[in-house]
Chain A
Amino acid sequence: MRYDLILENWQLFASGMWMTLQLTLLSLAVGFCIALPFGLIRAKSNGFGSKLINAYVYAFRGTPLLVQLYLIYYGLSQFEWVRDSFAWVVLRDAWWCALIAFSLNSGAYATEIIRGAVQSVPEGELEAAKSLGLSPFKVGQLVLIPSALRRALPQYGNEVVFMLHGSVVASIITIQDILGVGRTLNARYYLAYEGFLTAAALYMALAFTLVFIFRQLERRYLGYLKVSR
């Protein structure tokens, strides 16, 4: 092990870490914005819109993230009308393509999580709210959504770690995230262990931090549902 080379390149790793965090958190945020309305529609209706959303969820959960990323980054450049359109500024950029692919992917998984959480809210909670004279909109805003989001916490925590781990494929399309830096070290100095072991340790640290944060959130927001032993 050449620790000096890891230390020498600490700035590279720090910027890689920032890149990974940025991509992961932004994708999660966009994915969540997709998933909240979609999850509610999936849970509450069975119409055409719900079926369409189901098709999206099924397609993005049933295929590898790498293939989705390739489809957007390499695939779309096949069409001349895409290259001529105003969207090309965004679609030729690796970072934007990664963000789009990750957001759509996370949106699909989160939709399913929120659908399950909404369906697991006890009917009694909603009836109690209705009996207090709340309008359907207020029931949703004050009771259904907060209660569902609390119940979604454990699974959503898994999704967050899953997205962090999934974001490594960004390094394949030349983005300098944590693994991207590790691969650069491997290519530049032929140092497999230094680059990849450091990357592994950094991902592990991030994953455990996220798990810890979600455990605290669960204790704070879900504590009342845990049976005291």
Chain B
Amino acid sequence: MENLIEYAPLLLRGAVTTLSLALAALVMATLLGSLGAVSKISGGRIVRAIVFTYTTLVRGVPDLVLILLIYFGGQRLINLAGKAMGGDYIELSKFWAGVVAIGFIYGAYLTETFRGAYLTVPTGQREAAMSMGMRPQQVLRAVTLPQLIRFALPGYANVWQVLIKSTAVVSVIGLEDLVGLANDAGKSVREPFLFFAAVFFVYLFFTWVSQTIFNAAERRYALKEHGDAV
């Protein structure tokens, strides 16, 4: 137990790395997901085919395979390019390799989430808004977007909960995140169970806090029944 207290600052640093990685990946996934959903809804045939290939292929491949592919494959690509240009050896950032891989994977899931939410908003509402003389941006801001957020939130929360757990495998390429640091520390003081149990509870804490936040957000965007306290 003393060992755990002694290593607490180290584990805290790891937890911060894990959380930053998850949040950066979420930002990337959200951007990709929005872009993908917009393309799927209103893109031309070629754009739609590209997005379809992206969402279908990515959802068939496990996260760790893609992380290793991007990290080792990207490293080799950079080395080849560097050699061709006569540059020095460049080391790929483990953190950003993880962000790109995880963001890329969950962008595919969010594409489907956003597209589904958009399709749930009845077309009649947009038409009604337009018939009242609202411009397209106004329709988007006042009618479509608020409801889109409402319909997308449960799926979005779900993707985040899966995403934050999948950050654990980035430790495999040697990133000093919560799992990686706990692994090293636990081995060096010969108390691996204690350290992994600590990691276990930190992740449980993360998912619990996320659940609380998303529940509050879902209440905030829920349909207000007549007579409900706002």
Contacts and interface: CB of A to CB of B under 8 A. Distances in A.
Interface in B180-212: 183, 186-187, 190-194, 196-197, 199-200, 203-204, 207-208
Given A62-B208, A67-B203, A169-B64, A74 B169 contact: no
B72 A196 contact: yes
Contacts of B68: 179, 182-183, 186, 192, 196
In the complex, which range does the number of interface residues on chain A fall in?
35 or more
Interface of B: 57, 59-66, 68-69, 72-73, 75-76, 165-169, 171-172, 179, 183, 186-187, 190-194, 196-197, 199-200, 203-204, 207-208
B151 to A, nearest CB: 19
29 contacts: A58-B204, A59-B204, A63-B165, A63-B200, A63-B203, A63-B204, A63-B207, A64-B169, A70-B179, A70-B183, A70-B196, A74-B186, A76-B193, A164-B62, A165-B63, A166-B62, A168-B65, A169-B64, A171-B64, A172-B169, A192-B68, A192-B73, A192-B75, A196-B65, A197-B69, A203-B61, A203-B62, A207-B60, A207-B61
Given A70-B179, A74-B192, A169-B64, A64 B168 contact: yes
A204 interface: yes
Given A62-B207, A76-B193, A207-B59, 13 more contacts: A62-B204, A67-B200, A67-B203, A74-B192, A78-B191, A78-B194, A172-B169, A183-B68, A192-B69, A192-B73, A200-B66, A204-B60, A207-B60
A67 B172 contact: no
Contacts of A76: 193
B168 A67 contact: yes
B65 A67 contact: no
Main secondary structure of the interface of B (DSSP, over half): helix
Contact of B169 (A79, A169, A192, A207): A169
Instruction: Please indicate which of the listed interface residues A165, A169, A193, A197 has the most CB atoms of chain B within 10 Å of its own CB.
Output: A165
Contacts of B204: 58-59, 62-63
A66 interface: yes
B193 A79 contact: yes
A199 interface: yes
A142 interface: no
Nearest to A59: B204
A200 B61 contact: yes
Interface in A9-37: none
Given A64-B203, A169-B64, A207-B60, A78 B76 contact: no
Interface string A165-177: 1101101100000
Instruction: Please indicate which of the listed interface residues B65, B69, B168, B194 has the most CB atoms of chain A within 10 Å of its own CB.
Output: B65
Contacts of A192: 68-69, 72-73, 75-76
Given A71-B197, A203-B60, A203-B61, A66 B69 contact: no
A186 B65 CA distance: 12
A208 interface: yes
Interface string A71-90: 10011111100000000000
B192 A64 contact: no
Contacts of A208: 60
Nearest to B191: A78
